[in-house]
Structure 1
Amino acid sequence: MSKSAPGPTPGFLVWRLANKWRVAVDRAVAPLGLTHAQYSLVASLYGMQRAGERPSQRRLADHTGLEALYVSKLARTLESAGLIERTRDPRDPRAVQLSLTEQGRTVTRQAVVVVQELLQQLLEPLGGLDAPRTRAFTDELMILLDAPLAPSAPTDEHIEGTTP
C-alpha cells in the first residue's frame, strides 16, 4: 500500500484529462458530423495519406491505439457518411485499406483547424502549443505511452476487503 500523501493519483488525473479532452473534441467536431473517435480516425488517415501511405484498418488501429474491431466499425460508419472508402488490399485479400474521399478530406481539414484551436486553448496554461512547458509535457506523455505494460493478475496484496 502506498504511503504517499492523500490527493489525486497520476492515473486519476490522466483519466480526468483524457475525459475532458474527449468531451471537448466531441463538442467541437459535432457540427461537422463527427465524434472524437471518428475525428481521431480521419485525422490520422489524413496525415498518413499526405505522407503517401494507404493504411490498412489494422495499421490505423495500431497508430490510433483503438481496437481493430472498433476501427472497423468506425470505418463502416464513415464510409456510409461518404467520408472514406474501404477497399481490399490487392496484396492481402484479408486486409482492408482505407482512404479519404474528397468530401472526407474537406471535412477533415475543417476538423483539424477546429481541434488545433481547441488544443491551443487547452495548452494555454502551459504557455501554448509551442511553449517549452508544452514540449516537456509532450515528452513525458510519450515516455508513458511508449512504456510497455505487462498484463498482471490481481494478487491478494492488491485486493483489499476481499475474502478468498
Structure 2
Amino acid sequence: MSTNPEGATPGFLVWRLSMKWRVAVDRAVAPLGLTHAQYSLVASLYGMHRTGLRPSQRQLADHTGLEPLYVSKLARALEAAGLVERARDPADPRAVQLTLTDQGREVTRRAIGIVHGLLEQLLTPLGGLDGPRTKAFSRELATLLDVPLDPLDPPTKNETEQP
C-alpha cells in the first residue's frame, strides 16, 4: 500500500499517514516518558506559552482538536509526572489553566527536537520542511482542516456541485 496508492481514497491515505505519524511519534518520545497525545498537549502548551498565553484546558482542547475530557485526562497524567501544573483560573473558577513546570519545559524542548527530526524525514520526498511542495501541501491540509464535518448532516449532491 505505501508504494502504490492507486485506488486508495484520500480518506484512507489521510488515515494511513496519520497512523504512521502517530506510531512514529509514540516510539520517538517514549524514552522521554511521553505518548504522542501527551506530546501534542505539551508541545502546544509550550508554543502557547511562548506567545504569552496561559491557556485553560478548554482552550488547549480547541487548539489541539482533542476532546476536552481527553485533555483533562492527559493533563492529570502529565501533572502526576511532574510536567504540568493545573490551577483554577482566578477569572473563571470553573476553568483550569495549564502551565509547564521547569521539568516539563525541558522534556518538551527535547521532544520537539526529536519530532522535528521525524518531520524532516517525513517531508524529504517533498523537498524538506522548507520546500515549496511542503508549503503547498501544508496549505492544502489547512484547507481541509477548515472544512466543517457533521456526520449527521452530509452535504447534498447540489451542495457539492461546482458552478
- Structure 2 SS opposite 1:129: coil
Q: Given the two structures, how large is their TM-score scaled by the length of structure 2? A: 0.89
Q: Distance in 2 between matches of 1:38 and 1:57?
A: 13
Q: After superposition, where does 1:140-159 map in structure 2 within 5 Å?
A: 140-152=140-152
2:105 pairs with 1:89: no
Secondary structure of the structure 1 residue equivalent to 2:7: coil
How far, CA to CA, are the matches of 2:13 and 2:105 in structure 1?
Answer: 34
Q: Does 1:104 align with 2:120?
A: no
- Percent identical pairs in the alignment equals 77
Larger Rg: 1
Please give the alpha-carbon distance, in whole angstroms, between the structure 1 residues aligned to 2:125 and 2:134: 9
**Residue 65 (structure 2) pairs with residue 56 (structure 1):** no
Partner of 1:16: 16
What is the CA-CA distance between 1:29 and the residue it aligns to? 0.3
Q: What are structure 2's unaligned runs of at least 5 residues?
A: 1-5, 155-163
Q: Please give the TM-score of this superposition, normalised by the length of structure 1.
A: 0.89
Q: What's the CA shift for 1:153? A: 5.7
Q: Does 1:46 align with 2:28?
A: no
- Number of aligned residues: 149
Question: Residue 39 of structure 1: SS of its match in structure 2?
Answer: helix
| Match in the other structure for 1:128 | 128
**One-letter code aligned to 1:126:** L
- Counterpart residue number, 2:161: none
Does 1:79 find its partner at 2:79?
yes
- Segments of 5+ residues of structure 1 without an aligned counterpart are 1-5, 155-164
Q: CA deviation at 1:150?
A: 3.1
Distance 1:24 1:94 in 2: 36
